Amino acid sequence: MARLWVNGGSWVEVKDAEGINIVHLTVDNKEIAVSGGQTILEAVARMPGIGNIPALCYHPAVKPNGACQLCTVEVSENGGSKFRFVVACLYPVKEGLVVKTNTKMVRKRRKGIIEPLLARCPNVKKIQELAEEYGVEKPRVALLGEDCIHCSLCLRACQETIGKAAISLVTQGIYKEVAASFYGYQVSEEDCIGCGDCAFVCPTGTIQMGPDGKPVLPKVKIPYSEVEAMSKRSSYFL
Ligand code: SF4
């Protein structure tokens, strides 16, 4: 019989209920029982005090896509003799799975993910907090002063919860940016219903709702003429 931990300090015994898919696994040396058909991140998020799994590109209302990889954990499927890294927001819970959410190696991986995020978005509070927690003091690369991490949560929320595509990630590489159709910084009247879902799920808080009831999107920090020139160069090779 597995233990279901409650708030990290106490636990209750969980019996297998007929007709309910219960999965038993171990998370950070605690045996837990959860319902099957969910990911490690979902299971741990529902159990306060169990595990330590940060995530930036995840929101329970939107399908996970593993974009930020910050939720990387170690798992073993053979009782704990051999571990490997997996992305917790995509990896399903399984019977007998052993999960380690906060090992030295896991923390090192997360640190390597947070450092470039801090270089890109040095003024975003959420990134600053993660940097402090994982010991990232000063990025080795130049600070960019952006506030969007390209996690795509905003556009996935628009598509999945509203069924629209008012915003998208446009262009490529360092020019990639969240924008409305035709690279507009204001979303179009026809596509956007002003629900604010994009602003609600954004982990950095960079999308704000404007006075017109439509979201104001993060702006590129390079002149628009450069973007235009770059897109012309790209189309030359098509
Ligand atoms: S605007 Fe926010 S939600 Fe959208 S990609 Fe950037 S950080 Fe993610």
- pLDDT tens, position by position, 202-225: 999 999 888 888 888 886 544 445
Q: What is the mean pLDDT of residues 36-58?
A: 93
In 3D space, the residue among 43, 42, 30, 110 whose CA is nearest the CA of residue 72 turns out to be: 110
Atom of ligand 1 at shortest distance to CA of 157? Answer: 3
- Report whether residue 131 contacts ligand 1, using a CB cutoff of 6 Å: no
Three-state DSSP class for residue 2:
strand
Q: If you measure from the C-alpha of residue 204 to the centroid of ligand 1, how many angstroms do you get, rounded to a whole number?
A: 7
Q: What is 2-53+79-101's CATH number, 3.10.20, 2.30.30, 1.10.3470, 2.60.40?
A: 3.10.20
Spatial contact of 208 and 201, defined as CB atoms under 8 Å apart: no
More confidently predicted of 176 and 193: 193
Name the segment(s) of the chain with CATH classification 3.10.20: 2-53+79-101
Query: What predicted TM-score, i.e. pTM, was given to this entire model?
Result: 0.82
Q: If you measure from the C-alpha of residue 203 to the centroid of ligand 1, how many angstroms do you get, rounded to a whole number?
A: 7
Tell the residue number behind the tokens 């950095």, with chain if given. 204
More confidently predicted of 209 and 84: 84
User: What is the distance between the alpha carbons of residues 73 and 77, in angstroms, rounded to a whole number?
Assistant: 13
Q: If you measure from the C-alpha of residue 167 to the centroid of ligand 1, how many angstroms do you get, rounded to a whole number?
A: 10
**Average per-residue pLDDT for the chain:** 85
Name the segment(s) of the chain with CATH classification 3.30.70: 153-221
- Report whether residue 149 contacts ligand 1, using a CB cutoff of 6 Å: yes
- Report whether residue 153 contacts ligand 1, using a CB cutoff of 6 Å: yes
Atom of ligand 1 at shortest distance to CA of 169? Answer: 5
Q: For helices 125-133 and 104-120, give the axis angle rounded to 10 degrees.
A: 150
Regarding beta strands 98-100 and 22-27, do their DSSP bridges make them parallel or antiparallel, or are they unpaired?
parallel
Q: Which residue has a Cα nearest atom 6 of ligand 1?
A: 148
The CATH number of 153-221 is 3.30.70
